[in-house]
């Protein structure tokens, strides 16, 4: 397996010919075109917050002050029609990192390889016939930060990586609770940095969770008509606003770090949430309350890009947009379209949405929106809209919702909370009914719109090969594992040490199509991308190599690098 070859001029030519397919693959993978000849490419920062609807001053909600997020909106572009692909985090995150629909790659169920302990405590058979698996995208798919790293960017993630698959170690330069763009190798190295702020997560309303400083008055908060207006409901809403105020302060600290380092005016900042509010009938529900998100892109002042944009954008568009902002043409395998940057493309005008298994509770819903009208197809109408997910039961107001169900006193606007079944189809006009409580599916004045959106959704499901229509076990074994009885493993990477121009170089290969390849020397913690022969330092004695196709078991090898003449 390990080999070292001394090359003559002739064998150098042979080696270059042998490596042509590798270089062609990298070109096809990245489709890279540089944005400009500037010595300072723009940096990109993602500020991703959790479980939050557009309850912000810049979106017209003045319940609590959000001056730092409002500043981003004033100095950038605020999007009115931005949507998560699903109303829950991990499947959404799988789309953000790949630019693929969850229903294309088998990441739509929450979660794949991490079964809910709360659900298992209630029912040990909750996950019967569902193996421990990971989503498996097509072989050409990469986590997009890998494409940025290939272009020389320093990529960091603080800190979540639950993408419904284990991300290859080549995805990030740094990841974890201390990952920061300040750790880059040189002061002028461009960076892509993700900051995931968790203070607004639904768990922030749990009774056992310590509270943020009180900012919102429960007596003054607006209570959506689908909730019972009780002190507990008001307290949970107010507590959610308190967490939003705390999040805003964290955003301020991130901006100050950029300003203090002189980087803010050379950095594009994207601010968004991973789905809608983390309260009942928000998170896990496919309505606006669960899927419409705030999105702001703050551009450097010199670019003078400010205002409001009503284009319909989806999480599937975020990866191509990030590449476009960084001057890289999005690869053709991405399912979305860039909505900003050099390679901006026309949008479809629609956002497609799905909701599938949540923890151990199976449901299937598909929906499409054009920003105003929403068509919903419930594929399991015998199930209730608001089912009992063990984790969400810890939100205090759930007790009041159960009491409302038992009382029989629900209003007409509360049907989605209390009904034991769902209609097969739903249709809403969010302009006249922002809370989506009046189902217009039988309204003859909406027939033309319903027919159009129904056909649009059906075409999307067919075109993307919606894997969520299959039983989960069948999807895994037949489509992700191709009939294998267990999770497939990436082939062991091979290593050859070659002498090129008098210097030692390592050549790493793998038989598994689509495997990301990485390497690191003894004592290093960061995996470097393999993008050709690796020039080895004179004092190197060992090298570790990695091969990892997404959704497969990764494999590593370690070997000596002292040359041996054949």
Work out the mean pLDDT of the chain and round it to a whole number: 92
Same domain, 63 and 164: yes
Same domain, 143 and 264: yes
Say how far apart CA 158 and CA 37 lie, in whole Å: 30
Q: Cα–Cα distances in Å, from 435 out to 141, 154, 224, 275, 309?
A: 37, 42, 7, 16, 22
Same domain, 329 and 379: no
Same domain, 15 and 48: no
366, 383, 398 — which closes off a domain? 366
Which tens digits make up the pLDDT trace of 356-392? Answer: 999 999 999 999 999 999 999 999 999 999 988 999 9
Q: Is 484 part of a structural domain of the chain?
A: no
Q: Is 483 part of a structural domain of the chain?
A: no
Same domain, 376 and 341: no
Q: Is the pLDDT of residue 23 over 90?
A: no
pLDDT of residue 489: 98
Residues 6+ apart with CB under 8 A from 104: 137, 335, 464, 465, 467
Same domain, 324 and 273: yes
Q: Which of 168, 128, 79 is nearest to 548 (CA)?
A: 168
366, 387, 408 — which closes off a domain? 366
Does the annotation count 89 as an active-site position? Answer: yes
Q: Which of 210, 192, 250 is nearest to 49 (CA)?
A: 250
Q: Which residue do the tokens 């598994």 mark?
A: 512
Residues 6+ apart with CB under 8 A from 255: 68, 71, 72, 264, 269
Same domain, 71 and 88: yes
pLDDT of residue 123: 85
Which CATH number does the domain housing residue 20 bear?
Answer: 2.60.40
Tokens standing for 435?
């809370």
Which tens digits make up the pLDDT trace of 499-536? Answer: 999 899 999 999 999 999 999 999 999 999 999 999 99
Same domain, 330 and 403: no
**Position 7 confidence tier, pLDDT thresholds 50, 70, 90:** very low
Which tens digits make up the pLDDT trace of 115-138? Answer: 888 888 888 888 888 999 999 999
Q: Is the pLDDT of residue 11 over 60?
A: no
Which tens digits make up the pLDDT trace of 448-492? Answer: 999 999 999 999 999 999 999 999 999 999 999 999 999 999 999
> What is the number of other CB atoms lying within 10 angstroms of the CB of residue 307?
8
Q: Is the pLDDT of residue 246 over 60?
A: yes
Tell me the mean pLDDT in the region 156-183: 97
Of 5 and 505, the structure prediction assigns the larger pLDDT to 505
325, 345, 366 — which closes off a domain? 366
Alpha-carbon dihedral sign for residues 367, 83, 420, 119:
positive
**Position 563 confidence tier, pLDDT thresholds 50, 70, 90:** low
Q: Which of 432, 414, 42 is nearest to 265 (CA)?
A: 42
Q: Is 358 part of a structural domain of the chain?
A: yes
Q: Is the pLDDT of residue 498 over 80?
A: yes
Tell me the mean pLDDT in the region 397-408: 97
CA atoms within 13 A on the CB side of 214: 6
Same domain, 7 and 78: no
Same domain, 177 and 150: yes
- In the set 89, 143, 326, 510, the catalytic residue is 89
Which tens digits make up the pLDDT trace of 67-117? Answer: 999 999 999 999 999 999 999 999 999 999 999 999 999 999 998 977 888
Q: Is 475 part of a structural domain of the chain?
A: no
Q: Can you list the alpha helix ranges (DSSP code H) found in 215-360?
A: 231-260, 288-291, 318-325
Paired strand residues for 494 = 509
pLDDT of residue 17: 37
Same domain, 375 and 360: no
Percent of the chain whose pLDDT exceeds 70: 92
Q: Which domain holds residue 423?
A: 367-470
Q: Is 566 part of a structural domain of the chain?
A: no
Tell me the mean pLDDT in the region 179-199: 97
Which CATH number does the domain housing residue 266 bear?
Answer: 3.40.720.10
pLDDT of residue 560: 85
Q: Is the pLDDT of residue 221 over 50?
A: yes
- The count of structural domains within the chain is 3
pLDDT of residue 426: 98
Same domain, 232 and 171: yes
**Position 39 confidence tier, pLDDT thresholds 50, 70, 90:** low
Which tens digits make up the pLDDT trace of 202-213? Answer: 999 999 999 999
Q: Is the pLDDT of residue 38 over 90?
A: no
Whether the CB-CB separation of 317 and 297 falls below 8 Å is answered with no
């Amino acid at each position: 397996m390990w080999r070292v070859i001394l090359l003559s001029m002739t064998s150098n030519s042979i080696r270059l010919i042998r490596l042509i397919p590798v270089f062609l693959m990298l070109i096809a993978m990245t489709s890279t075109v540089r944005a400009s000849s500037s010595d300072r490419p723009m940096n990109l920062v993602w500020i991703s917050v959790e479980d939050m609807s557009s309850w912000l001053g810049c979106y017209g909600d003045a319940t609590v002050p959000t001056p730092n997020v409002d500043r981003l909106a004033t100095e950038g572009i605020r999007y009115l029609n931005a949507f998560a692909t699903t109303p829950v985090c991990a499947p959404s995150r799988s789309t953000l990192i790949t630019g693929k629909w969850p229903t294309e790659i088998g990441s739509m169920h929450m979660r794949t390889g991490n079964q809910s302990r709360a659900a298992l405590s209630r029912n040990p058979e909750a996950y019967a016939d569902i193996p421990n698996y990971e989503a498996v995208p097509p072989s050409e798919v990469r986590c997009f930060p890998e494409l940025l790293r290939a272009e020389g960017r320093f990529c960091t993630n603080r800190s979540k990586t639950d993408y419904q698959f284990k991300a290859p170690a080549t995805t990030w330069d740094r990841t974890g609770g201390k990952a920061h763009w300040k750790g880059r190798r040189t002061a002028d190295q461009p960076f892509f940095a993700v900051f995931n702020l968790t203070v607004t997560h639904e768990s922030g309303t749990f009774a056992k969770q310590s509270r943020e400083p009180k900012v919102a008055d429960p007596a003054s908060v607006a209570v959506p008509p689908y909730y019972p207006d009780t002190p507990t409901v008001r307290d949970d809403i107010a507590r959610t606003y308190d967490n939003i105020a705390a999040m805003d302060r964290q955003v301020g600290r991130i901006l100050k770090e950029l300003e203090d380092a002189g980087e803010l005016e050379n950095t594009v900042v994207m601010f968004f949430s991973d789905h809608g509010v983390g309260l009942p009938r928000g998170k896990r529900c496919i309505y606006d309350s669960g899927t419409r998100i705030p999105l702001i892109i703050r551009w450097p002042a010199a670019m003078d890009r400010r205002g409001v944009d009503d284009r319909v954008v989806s999480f599937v568009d975020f990866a191509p947009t990030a590449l476009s902002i960084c001057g890289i043409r999005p690869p053709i395998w991405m399912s979305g379209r860039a909505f900003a940057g050099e390679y901006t493309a026309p949008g479809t005008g629609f956002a497609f949405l799905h909701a599938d298994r949540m923890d151990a509770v199976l449901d299937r819903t598909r929906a499409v929106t054009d920003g105003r009208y929403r068509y919903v197809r419930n594929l399991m109408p015998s199930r209730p809209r608001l089912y009992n997910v063990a984790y969400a039961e810890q939100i205090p107001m759930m007790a009041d919702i159960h009491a409302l169900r038992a009382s029989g006193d629900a209003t007409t606007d509360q049907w989605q909370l209390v009904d034991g079944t769902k209609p097969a189809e739903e249709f809403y006009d969010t302009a006249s009914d922002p809370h989506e409580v009046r189902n217009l599916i039988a309204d003859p004045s909406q027939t033309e719109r319903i027919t159009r959106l129904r056909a649009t959704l059906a075409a999307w499901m067919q075109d993307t090969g919606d894997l969520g229509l299959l039983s989960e076990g069948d999807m895994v074994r037949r489509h992700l594992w191709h009939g294998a009885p267990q999770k497939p493993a990436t082939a062991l990477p091979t290593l050859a040490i070659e002498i090129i121009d008098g210097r030692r170089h390592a050549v790493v290969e793998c038989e598994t199509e689509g495997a990301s390849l990485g390497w690191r020397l003894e004592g290093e913690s960061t995996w470097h991308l393999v993008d050709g022969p690796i020039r080895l330092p004179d004092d190197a004695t060992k090298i570790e190599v990695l091969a990892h196709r997404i959704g497969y078991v990764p494999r590593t090898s370690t070997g000596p690098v002292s040359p041996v003449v054949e």
